[in-house]
């Protein structure tokens, strides 16, 4: 096991926020200051609610500040698989909601986004045939997609996707939320989440509503999700500037197991190989492991052709659900839970954060219905 390390995104200073001490009152307490929780907080503020947000570590300490930086429409399942599993109407509704959410994310923080599209590249004849099925299903429903052939390989181009700086976005959201009146506390882990509030080691937030916006580790904080959500480690590495290669848009390869993008300063951020790490990757330990890092290094050198030295190796945990559908539910009276994005939560987490805020304020949210489990 290698030591935990900063992600490539940790390139700007962040002024630490105080821990919670004593009792505070709010209309809503949001637990987890990643992209999902911060989006929820800003939506609640826009709807006139008093909000307190707490995080066990610092803002975007989890996957939200340590991920691949892809903004992908749809669910973790490719579109044609989602149609098979959910039915056409529901899969299409969810896909459209996520496209709209990418638009909102771009409007909200344009300074950290590159709307350059994304590639799905096939690594085998079977995967090429699967790309054909995805293309057909998306075209049948009028969704934006093109066939692609280029230096990265052959597959599909989704022109409406994009790439972003995940940590810079979270910092921007947190700063704005504070300016808009939210009270945010770092190093304040929720130890008890109850109807009517949240307890930390040194304080308590009294609030009618609680939103737990935790992806990796959701089942630890709310044990009722054991069996549905299981936390796993995802790993990445990054290089010094690699002018020897040119990758204009994020690439998703080998059935989405591996993914990489070239940043504006020409560094490469590459993730994946989780399937190659075996059972050991089902863990809450966010330190990179040698097996997966060796696999990533091979992709970097042999597949991508980059020679630049590796400067960063890191990992973070996310929640996978058994059916690969996210969690967005009132788990206990007055306590909402969102998470379990099964590896792609940048867009859906924000979408569900907004949707839950509206459900709390208006008593319902049409977006949530599309994600409800039918059981
Ligand atoms: C390496 C990697 C690459 C990825 N690449 C992509 C990608 O390219 N595109 C994509 O869409 N998704 C990607 N993902 C998934 C995506 O990062 C996550 O789904 C998303 O960021 C989850 O954000 P969140 O705000 O919901 O939760 P989290 O990031 O899990 O944030 C939850 C916060 O809650 C805090 N917390 C935890 N427990 C407590 C507690 N008891 N009390 C208070 N606070 C607590 C944590 O400190 C954390 O800051 C990737 C994930 C990883 C790890």
Report the percentage of the chain scoring pLDDT > 90. 95
pLDDT computed for residue 12 by the predictor: 84
Ligand 1, atom 50, residue with closest C-alpha: 67
Mutate-to-test residue for ligand 1 from 29, 63, 210, highest number of ligand atoms within 8 A of CB: 63
Distance 17 CA to ligand 1 centre (A): 19
Distance 260 CA to ligand 1 centre (A): 18
pLDDT computed for residue 364 by the predictor: 87
Distance 297 CA to ligand 1 centre (A): 24
Ligand 1, atom 18, residue with closest C-alpha: 345
Burial of 235 (0-12, 13-18, 19+ CB in 10 A): buried
Tell me the pLDDT of the chain averaged across its residues: 96
Distance 147 CA to ligand 1 centre (A): 31
Per residue in 261-304, pLDDT tens?
A: 999 999 999 999 999 999 999 999 999 999 999 999 999 999 99
Distance 146 CA to ligand 1 centre (A): 30
Mutate-to-test residue for ligand 1 from 20, 32, 296, highest number of ligand atoms within 8 A of CB: 32
Distance 340 CA to ligand 1 centre (A): 9
- CB contact at 8 A, 7 and 313: no
Tell whether the model's pLDDT for residue 99 goes beyond 60.
yes
Instruction: State whether residue 127 is helix, strand or coil.
Output: helix
Cα 370–chain centre separation: 19
Distance 145 CA to ligand 1 centre (A): 28
- CB contact at 8 A, 306 and 268: yes
- CB contact at 8 A, 289 and 235: yes
Give the position, in ligand 1's atom list, of the atom nearest the Cα of 317.
53
Separation CA 30–CA 307 (nearest Å): 43
Tell whether the model's pLDDT for residue 375 goes beyond 70.
no
Instruction: State whether residue 26 is helix, strand or coil.
Output: strand
Distance 317 CA to ligand 1 centre (A): 7
* Mean pLDDT, residues 294-322: 97
Pocket of ligand 1 from Cβ distances under 6 Å: 31-37, 54-57, 60-64, 66-70, 72, 189-190, 213-217, 221, 234, 236, 271, 316, 318, 339, 341, 343-347, 349
Tell whether the model's pLDDT for residue 155 goes beyond 80.
yes
Which is it for strands 268-271 and 258-262: parallel, antiparallel or unpaired? antiparallel
This prediction has a pTM of 0.97
Separation CA 200–CA 71 (nearest Å): 33
pLDDT computed for residue 358 by the predictor: 97
Separation CA 375–CA 33 (nearest Å): 30
Give the position, in ligand 1's atom list, of the atom nearest the Cα of 221.
41
Tell whether the model's pLDDT for residue 1 goes beyond 70.
no
Ligand 1, atom 33, residue with closest C-alpha: 32
Separation CA 62–CA 32 (nearest Å): 9
Count CA atoms closer than 13 A to 261's CA, side-chain side.
24
Per residue in 35-92, pLDDT tens?
A: 999 999 999 999 999 999 999 999 999 999 999 999 999 999 999 999 999 999 999 9
343: DSSP letter: T
pLDDT computed for residue 2 by the predictor: 58
Q: What is the dihedral angle through the alpha carbons of 271, 276, 280, 282, rounded to the nearest 10 degrees?
A: 60
Distance 172 CA to ligand 1 centre (A): 16
């Amino acid at each position: 096991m290698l030591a935990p390390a900063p992600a490539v995104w940790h390139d700007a200073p962040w002024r630490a926020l105080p821990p919670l001490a004593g009792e505070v009152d709010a209309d809503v307490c949001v637990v987890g200051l990643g992209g999902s929780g911060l989006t929820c907080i800003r939506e609640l503020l826009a709807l006139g609610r008093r909000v307190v947000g707490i995080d066990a570590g610092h803002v975007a300490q989890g996957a939200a500040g340590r991920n691949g930086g892809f903004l992908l429409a749809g669910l973790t399942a490719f579109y044609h698989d989602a149609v098979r599993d959910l039915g056409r109407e529901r899969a299409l509704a969810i896909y459209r909601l996520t496209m709209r959410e990418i638009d909102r994310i771009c409007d909200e923080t344009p300074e950290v986004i590159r709307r350059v599209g994304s590639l799905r590249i096939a690594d085998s004849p079977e995967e090429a045939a699967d790309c054909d099925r995805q293309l057909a299903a998306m075209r049948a429903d009028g969704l934006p997609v093109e066939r692609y052939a280029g230096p990265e390989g052959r597959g599909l181009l989704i022109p409406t996707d994009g790439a972003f700086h995940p940590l810079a976005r979270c910092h921007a959201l947190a700063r704005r939320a504070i300016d808009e009146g939210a009270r945010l506390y770092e190093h304040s882990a929720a130890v008890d989440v109850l109807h009517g509030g949240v307890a930390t080691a040194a304080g308590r937030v009294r609030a009618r509503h609680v939103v737990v916006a935790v992806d990796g580790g959701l089942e630890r904080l709310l044990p009722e999700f054991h069996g549905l959500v299981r936390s796993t480690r995802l790993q990445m590495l990054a290089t010094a500037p690699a002018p020897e290669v040119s990758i204009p848009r994020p690439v998703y390869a080998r059935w989405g197991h591996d993914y990489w993008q070239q940043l504006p300063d020409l560094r490469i951020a590459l993730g994946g190989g989780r399937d190659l790490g075996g059972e050991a990757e089902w863990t809450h330990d966010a330190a990179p492991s040698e097996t997966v890092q060796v696999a990533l290094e091979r992709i970097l050198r042999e597949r991508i052709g980059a020679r630049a030295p590796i400067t960063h190796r890191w990992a973070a945990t996310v929640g996978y659900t058994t059916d690969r559908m996210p969690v967005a539910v009132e788990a206990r009276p007055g306590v909402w839970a969102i998470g379990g994005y099964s590896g792609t939560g940048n867009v859906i987490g924000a979408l569900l954060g907004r949707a839950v805020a509206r459900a709390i304020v208006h008593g319902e949210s049409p977006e949530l219905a599309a994600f409800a489990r039918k059981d």
